[in-house]
Amino acid sequence: MALDFTLAAFETFCQQIAHMPVFTLIDYLTRTTAPPLPFVVLRFDVDYREVHAVQMARIAERHNLQGSFYFRHRNGNFDLNAIRTIAALDHEVGYHYETLDTCRGNFDAAETLLMEHIGALRAAGLTIRTVAAHGSTPTAPSYQSNLDLFRRRPELFERAGLVGETTLSVDFSRVVRLSEANWHWQRYAQYQPGAKGRKTSLRAAAQDLPHLDTGLYVTFHPQQWFKRPLEMLYYRWRNRLGRTFPRLYQIVRFSQQLKLQREHGRREQQQ
């Protein structure tokens, strides 16, 4: 049996849901009739390692499944190659926004930046109709989560030409939510931002799925899904170490960076 968080395990999940109705967020939000039960909504928050998202998009497409992939604006850019590749496979692509974090809680600046980023994606020929909030520690006391931008400014949906937001526009009494943030599968019967879920596994959720009398809304973080099990285990343990012993993790990272800088310096001297 394939190890969780490997592409082989993701492929098994795709096989298990291939005969069910599976929706992107935009398809789910714009349906005019209730979907037949049980159904699945597939969401991917691409925090980094965009190449992993491309691999998962290809696997899903091989099983005729379409999902929604949300991308961050990182290091001054979007990875347009990855985004275009995924859009060309008929998946939905959207913006994974964190502009309240970036603008340190300034709502006007956060709205301007959000419009700018959505505009950049559209200028690249991409259709953007939904957005997903990135979850991280707030950078100012003026807000609690990036979701607050749309919570406090609901008219922003119209101004930005958006149909919805992946949390605020979903009625979670109709879907069970499943997420694997930080490599831990959590199940939420009535999801609310900040709520604590129940521990589960993808395998258990897939087995329960045929008996569900609601839909299943799954969020994947492609950066946690690896082709090689050993590579996955390495990053998973590194993440766990970092969360358990943040100081130790910082020291390890710092010494790695020092070593790299020293090697770089040596190479420059040789040239």
Q: Would you say 130 and 94 are in contact if contact means Cβ atoms under 8 Å apart?
A: yes
Residue 270 CB partners (closer than 8 Å, separation 6+): none
Q: Which CB, 39 or 143, lies closer to Zn ion?
A: 143
Rule CB under 5 A: is residue 49 a binding residue for Zn ion? no
Using CB under 5 A, which of the segments 40-48, 77-85, 100-108, 255-263 binds Zn ion?
A: 40-48
Q: Which CB, 50 or 206, lies closer to Zn ion?
A: 50
End-to-end CA gap in the chain: 50
Rule CB under 5 A: is residue 50 a binding residue for Zn ion? no
Biggest CA–CA distance in the chain, Å, is 68
d(CA 9, CA 205): 13
Q: Which CB, 4 or 47, lies closer to Zn ion?
A: 47
How wide is the angle at C-alpha 122 spanned by C-alphas 115 and 88, nearest 5°?
140
Please identify which residue in 22, 43, 47, 71 interacts with Zn ion, judged by CB under 5 A: 47
User: Closest approach of Cβ 181 to Zn ion, in Å?
Assistant: 8
Residue 102 CB partners (closer than 8 Å, separation 6+): 110, 113, 139
Q: Which CB, 182 or 255, lies closer to Zn ion?
A: 182
40-46 vs 68-71, strand pairing mode: parallel
Positive or negative CA dihedral for 223, 225, 227, 231? positive
Site size toward Zn ion, by CB under 5 A: 3
User: Closest approach of Cβ 189 to Zn ion, in Å?
Assistant: 23
User: Closest approach of Cβ 96 to Zn ion, in Å?
Assistant: 6
Q: Which CB, 118 or 209, lies closer to Zn ion?
A: 118
Q: Which CB, 114 or 206, lies closer to Zn ion?
A: 114
10 Å Cβ neighbour count for 13?
24
Q: Which of residues 206-235 bind Zn ion (CB under 5 A)?
A: none
User: Closest approach of Cβ 59 to Zn ion, in Å?
Assistant: 21
Q: Which CB, 91 or 134, lies closer to Zn ion?
A: 134
Please identify which residue in 10, 16, 45, 160 interacts with Zn ion, judged by CB under 5 A: 45
User: Binding string to Zn ion for residues 121 to 150, with x set by CB under 5 A, is what?
Assistant: -------------x----------------
State the helix-helix crossing angle for 50-62 and 80-88, rounded to 10 degrees: 10
Token reading at 123:
């200028």
In angstroms and rounded to an integer, the radius of gyration of the C-alpha atoms of the chain is 20
Residues that bind Zn ion (CB under 5 A): 45, 47, 134
